[in-house]
Amino acid sequence: MRIIELNNRQEHILQIVKDNGPITGEQIADKLSLTRATLRPDLAILTMAGFLDARPRVGYFYTGKTGSQLFSEKIKKFTVKDFQSVPVVVNESASVYDAIVTMFLEDVGTLFVVNENSHLVGVLSRKDLLRASMGKQDLESVPVSIIMTRMPNITACNQNDLLIEVAKQLINKQIDALPVVREVTDGENLKLEVVGRITKTNITRAFVVIGTEEIF
């Protein structure tokens, strides 16, 4: 979905529609001394990219949107489910040593802690594990539940949240990742099941997609 670079003819078409819209494809072709068939691909590109709007039996209108505005609109449509990755979880009974090994083997910066029912109960960061490892306690005997950040002091998101809003939370709270969760019932209580994760790397991938994929 990259912002396309318009060629000279497409720029000329935009100017014609700006000055004369609404205007039909035949009228644009006449002004450029070209056939309607020749212009059809250019008009399709400009319409799909959002620069023009087409209405049946009326013609083409200029939307008034710049390339940067169209870029902004597209990134604001991305949702968490478009870019989330697989979560890395540990049980709350796991030892700090096991958590350190898991973090190293999975090459992640955040672990999500779940209980025996796979419900989210905590989060472990690199800082948490580093702080624990600097003490004199036996890391194999200390459960992660002792050092983790607990609910309700955990920021989470769901799959339908806008990616741009999640990115703001990562920045504002100065954290590396958020668990992607969905609500489940446990008796009369609502719990959170971890279904994914959103990290700064995921956010970066969204910008790479915008920069390298075609909008059409």
pLDDT, one tens digit per residue, over 62-81 is: 887 666 666 666 777 889 99
Asked whether the predicted pLDDT for residue 44 surpasses 60, the reply is yes
Residue 73 CB neighbour total at 10 angstroms: 11
Spatial separation of the C-alpha atoms in residues 166 and 171, rounded to whole Å? 9
Task: Number of helices (H) and strands (E) in the chain: give both, helices first.
Answer: 9, 8
Mean of the per-residue pLDDT values for the chain?
87
Phi, psi of 5 (to 5 degrees): -95, 125
> What pLDDT sits at residue 3?
47
The share of the chain scoring above pLDDT 90, in percent, equals: 54
The conformation of residue 197, written as its DSSP 8-state character, comes to E
1: confidence class by pLDDT, cuts 50, 70, 90 = very low
Work out the average pLDDT over 173-199. Answer: 91
- Which conformational region is residue 45 in: left (phi greater than 0), alpha (psi within -120 to 50 degrees), or beta? alpha
- Cα–Cα distances (Å) from 43 to 53, 60, 205, in that order, read 10, 9, 30
Amino acid at 169: Q
215: confidence class by pLDDT, cuts 50, 70, 90 = very low
Asked whether the predicted pLDDT for residue 151 surpasses 70, the reply is yes
Among the ranges given (2-6, 118-122, 148-152, 182-186), the one the predictor scored with the smallest mean pLDDT = 2-6
Handedness of CA 14, 17, 18, 20 (dihedral sign): positive
Work out the average pLDDT over 48-57. Answer: 81
Please state the domain extents for the chain: 8-69, 80-208
List, as own/partner pairs, every contact residues 189-193 make where C-beta atoms lie below 8 angstroms and the sequence separation is at least 24, other chains included. 191/117, 191/119, 191/120, 192/119, 192/120, 192/151, 192/156, 193/118, 193/119, 193/120
Among 42, 35, 38, 72, CA closest to 60: 42
What is this structure's pTM?
Answer: 0.67
Instruction: Give the tokens for residue 193.
Output: 């099941």
> What pLDDT sits at residue 119?
94
Asked whether the predicted pLDDT for residue 102 surpasses 90, the reply is yes
Angle, helices 8-20/36-49, rounded to nearest 10 degrees: 80
More confident residue, 21 or 15: 15
Amino acid at 133: S
> What pLDDT sits at residue 142?
93
> What pLDDT sits at residue 136?
79
Same fold flag, 8-69 and 80-208: no
pLDDT in tens, 115-147: 999 999 999 999 999 988 887 788 999 999 999
Q: Which CATH architecture has domain 80-208?
A: Roll (3.10)
Instruction: Give the tokens for residue 122.
Output: 């905590």
Q: What is the DSSP string of 50-65?
A: TSEEEETTTEEEE---
Among 133, 127, 124, 139, CA closest to 90: 124
Are 149 and 123 spatial neighbours (Cβ–Cβ below 8 Å)?
yes
> What pLDDT sits at residue 72?
67
CATH of 8-69, one of 3.40.50.720, 3.40.605.10, 3.30.365.10, 1.10.10.10: 1.10.10.10
